[in-house]
Amino acid sequence: SNAGTGVILSTTGITGLFFPVLAGALSDRIRTPLGRRRPLIVAGWLLAWSMVLLLTQIHSLAAAIPVIFLAYAGFFFAIGPYFALLPDIIPAAQRSFASGVMFLIGGTGILSYLLFAARWWEVSPTRPFVWVLIAVPAAVAVMCLSVKESVPPQGKTRLRLFRELSGRKNLLRFLSGMTLQWISLWMVSAFFVITCMALFSLSVEQAVKAFFVLNASFVGFALPGGLLGAKLGLKQTTIGGVAALIVCFCVIPFLQTYESLLFLVIIAGAAYGTVLAVSYPFFLSMIPKDQTAGFVGLYQACQNGTLLLGPAIAGGLIDSFGYTTLFFGAAAVMLAGMILYITVSRSEEQEP
């Protein structure tokens, strides 16, 4: 039901707002024989995996909600330290390329689930869960065994995350711009299928195909986008990708054919992939070295916490003014975010 979907989205937003920050701050502080990141990554994924296993035995929404909450809590507990591995082991000059590779591989995993595992639902409702229960341990094991964490600086790291943030104006502008960017993206993502069905008289299958093409384009252009960022500059490439998304959102309502919609969502997906691949190393250039995971947790919170706002704003726009306003509203929010990106004058941390 719509109410159930709304509750699940809220669960994602709430856990995504708090748990990456909590895990990131803790990860910066601990020292273990296995490193700072891997113990928390394993702990988070173990909780998420256990809850997915439990979901296979639950058949009511009321019982599933707390289990889903814990599953997302585990996922977001792992994601902050996981993303912090990139700046830990990759030199600054190579991070745009590495970020592109990371989003390419992660996006390919999402597409593989949509293409294969999710379609098994009609055969057996438990099969998609089995896919996850097999894939997660395999992926985490490969990561933990193949990645060697760098040796952290000696001494304890003080937990001064928000005090540090308050004194970094460029970083605050970036995070504010990224928050607006993700509100816009969640607005479109949440209602893309039904809006395209309404605007272009599409079938469900056609609208879902267009959304899949958008995401496939994002995956395909993540690595080229990362390479472009390394060549043209992180700030310029991020702003260029956001500007392309704004143009695409403004043009979509005026399209006349399904083929033109598919063409434009390919462009939008390419811009989306570029922004994701490049904005992350752009962000990393502004944070202190000794609190990487804590600040990465803030980055994740701005991305995932906006699930509480984006769909709600989009739903209000559609109910009040019609489907056409979804893309124009998202473009306006994205434009505000781009203006904030433009005001980021320089990196506040110079890294080797």
Q: What is the DSSP string of 62-104?
A: HHHHHHHHHHHHHHHHHHHHHHHHHHHHS-GGGHHHHHHHHHH
Measured between alpha carbons, how far is 104 from 213 in angstroms, rounded to an integer?
15
- Give the tens place of pLDDT for each residue, 34-55: 888 999 999 999 999 999 999 9
Residue 224, burial from CB neighbour count under 10 angstroms (0-12, 13-18, 19+):
middle
**What is the per-residue pLDDT across 102-161, written as a single tens digit (0 to 9) for each?**
999 988 888 887 777 667 776 777 888 888 899 999 999 998 888 888 766 655 555 567
Residue 201: pLDDT over 90: yes
**Mean per-residue pLDDT for 69-94?**
92
Mean pLDDT confidence for 224-247: 96
Angle at 115 between CA 112 and CA 119, to 5 degrees: 125
This prediction's pTM: 0.88
Q: Is the pLDDT of residue 247 over 60?
A: yes
The answer to whether domain 161-339 has CATH 3.30.465.10 is: no
pLDDT at 116: 74
Q: What is the pLDDT of residue 196?
A: 95
What pLDDT does residue 7 have?
Answer: 63
Domain map of the chain by residue range?
2-146, 161-339
Mean of pLDDT values over 270-295? 91
Cα 170 to chain centroid, rounded: 21
